[in-house]
Amino acid sequence: MLDRGQDTYKLNGRVLIIGMADSIHLARWLSQFEQSNIEFRLVSSSPHRKLHPYIRDLLGTRNSHVSLSIGAVSRFFSLPLWILDRLFSDFFRGLLIANEIRRFKPSFLHVNEIQNAGYATLRAIKLLQYRDIPPIFLTNYGSELVWFGKFPRHRRRMEELLKYSAAFSAECRRDYLLAEKLGFVGLKMPQMPVAGGARYSANWSSNRKTIAVKGYQNKWGRALSVLECLNEMQGDLEPFDIEVFSSNHVVKKRVKELSKTTNLNIVSYGKGSLSHEEMMQLFSRSICYIGVSLSDGISTSMIESMANGAIPIQTSTSCADEWIENGKTGFIISPSDIEGLKSALRRIISGDFNCKVAQIKNIEIIKEKYDPDMLQSLAMSQYQRMFELP
């Protein structure tokens, strides 16, 4: 099924991948296999109205060499399927996955996140009456195990899914321990970011005058708290441009209010309105990045901000402590600690914090843990191990 060349793995086989077809993380994961001979079949787990542009690229409409296909149901009807499955306990997407297993006959399943993809796959296993199930490679996104493991109904389903998973991968060390507590006994794949790596930019300028803010406001994201903090600090922030990305409606509305009623020079961008390249440009002109949430994984935004020279301010509910040293290369705060956020931000913008030294140390971490070539090789080796399973 595969062989190891001098520099790359040459992989051959079929992989049924269940994941969010509107996600840049999934697109970037798949792009790591452009030089392989893997035939991918994608079943969408997300309630999308359209595929992510990078996923469309990978389907062959532009320049990709990835062999990727997606059925019409997943491509055009994922939203109504997802809505129906809120009422019918993942039956329809489970049926779709079960049918794809029968027709596509994959070497293994890659379940690319737990809540949508994982639960639908668990339904497919039951529909197939637990027979002829290919090995399952389960990838934990963000803080799925940490957050949903608190709730008995979710915990039961995660325990069952982990029981049937042959292999497990996560971004954070803590998640391997949680998976074992939930009954996982399979193959622990090496820890790595779900989206692979990215190139770093080592250019530092003391003239950076932008503050990047993650605009998530939902069950976990607390962007509105950050905006209120910035409002209280507006006298200190007049020289800076504030750019809030991945904003939903309530955040965009609040940003517009602050722009009109305060001295803040602030703008917002909706989720998905900035390309990946534009996001990297935002981080490369930012003096710092702020991400506040009740629960998170490593936060891809945080490590990409580090890769582009922005000093991260990230909440302790992530595994940021595996990437930054609090008070030396960035700041780790509690999601409810507004005064801690103010203190960290003031230190950065006032010059009290040595941003250049922190940036140099952060780039060293990025080189070690986020190099795209290294992570691509790691992703290929993970698939190699899956293909070798009986």
Q: Are 315 and 335 in contact (CB under 8 A)?
A: yes
In this structure, are residues 344 and 312 in contact, taking their beta carbons and an 8 Å threshold? no
CA quadruple 103, 133, 119, 295: dihedral, nearest 10: -120
Cα separations (Å) of 143 from 113, 170, 295, 341?
10, 10, 6, 22
Q: What is the pLDDT of residues 98-129, one digit of tens each?
A: 999 999 999 999 999 999 999 999 999 999 99
CA distance 37 to 14: 9
Cβ count near 5 (within 10 Å): 9
- Tell me the whole-structure pTM to 2 decimals: 0.90
Closest CA to 318 of 118, 181, 147, 151: 147
pLDDT at 7 over 50: no
Q: Are 348 and 287 in contact (CB under 8 A)?
A: yes
In this prediction, residue 200 carries a pLDDT of: 81
* pLDDT of 342: 97
- The model's pLDDT over 167-208, given as tens digits with 9 standing for 90+, comes to 999 999 999 999 999 999 999 999 999 988 888 876 777 689
For all residues of the chain together, what is the average pLDDT? 91
In eight-state DSSP terms, residue 200 is -
Q: What is the pLDDT of residues 202-239, one digit of tens each?
A: 677 768 999 999 999 988 889 999 999 999 999 999 99
Domains assigned to the chain: 2-196+372-387 (3.40.50.2000), 210-369 (3.40.50.2000)
At 59-94, the pLDDT tens digits run 865 556 678 999 999 999 999 998 999 889 999 999
| Amino acid 368: pLDDT | 93
Assess contact for 109 and 134: CB atoms under 8 A.
Answer: yes
Would you say 118 and 139 are in contact if contact means Cβ atoms under 8 Å apart?
no
